[in-house]
Structures are given as structure tokens and as C-alpha cells.
Structure 1
Amino acid sequence: MTTNTDEQLMTPATLAALLGRSVPALAQMRYRGTGPRFIRAGGRIRYRRSDVNAWLEAGERDAT
């Protein structure tokens, strides 16, 4: 793993706390393909910080 903070790998629990969502909600987002990109590493789910940031930026809106 690289030391670049944008490439930190986060667990679902860490990301859920950051987003104010539950871990099961993240699982549903993965299933539906509506959440941030993720990595399956050794059977465990991880999220790259850069992928989460890109997903958040893609959801930015200036108006409704």
C-alpha cells in the first residue's frame, strides 16, 4: 500500500462512519452499483480514498 493519503484503503466500517451511513447500506450500494468503486482483497472489501472522493465529486450539484 502506498503512503499517499488519497490511496489509503478504508474498511466499510470506516467509510460508513465517514459518510454517516450504515455498513449494510454500503453493502446495498455495492450490490446496486450506486456507491463508490471498491476492491475485494482476500475476500474483504476495501475502498480507496481517491475512489470515494471521485464518487463524492460526481454527486456534487449546484442546484436541485
Structure 2
Amino acid sequence: MSALPEHFLTPEELADVLRLPSVETVYAWRKKRTGPPGFRAGKHLRYDPDAVRTWINRQTTQAA
């Protein structure tokens, strides 16, 4: 995983940072409420890098 940028991430950027096979994975996570929390900025979906870091830490802690 590459370092997270300091700006709010688009779904495409999140998929790229996490090296997911498709941005559709991000949308599926959102629909199932299993991925990092996102928010709407108008009609655009964005992800806070701090919330993504917290989500990643929870995932790695639960897997251990």
C-alpha cells in the first residue's frame, strides 16, 4: 500500500492506494457498509485519509 495523501480521496484514488482490482470494490464495500466511511461533498463521494487509516488499523488488528 502506498502512503495516503493528505487530501480527501476519491473512490478511484482509494482503490488505487489500496491496490484493489477495481473501484467497484470500493462501491461494494460502501453498499455493504464494510469499508472505510465515506461522505458526500455535494454529489461527490470522498474519503478522509484519517478515517481510512483508522479502518485499515482495525482490519489489521482484527486479522491478527
TM-score by length of 2: 0.81
What's the CA shift for 1:63?
6.3
Unaligned runs of 5+ in 1: none
What's the CA shift for 1:62?
8.1
The answer to whether the Cα contact below 8 Å between 1:10 and 1:46 also exists between their aligned partners in 2 is yes
What's the CA shift for 1:46?
0.3
Unaligned runs of 5+ in 2: none
The answer to whether the Cα contact below 8 Å between 1:6 and 1:48 also exists between their aligned partners in 2 is no
CA distance in 2, matches of 1:29, 1:62: 17
Structure showing greater Rg = 1
TM-score by length of 1: 0.81
> 1:20 and 1:6, CA in 2 relative to 1: closer, same or farther beyond 3 A?
closer
> 1:13 and 1:60, CA in 2 relative to 1: closer, same or farther beyond 3 A?
same
- CA RMSD for the aligned pairs? 2.2
Percent identical residues? 33
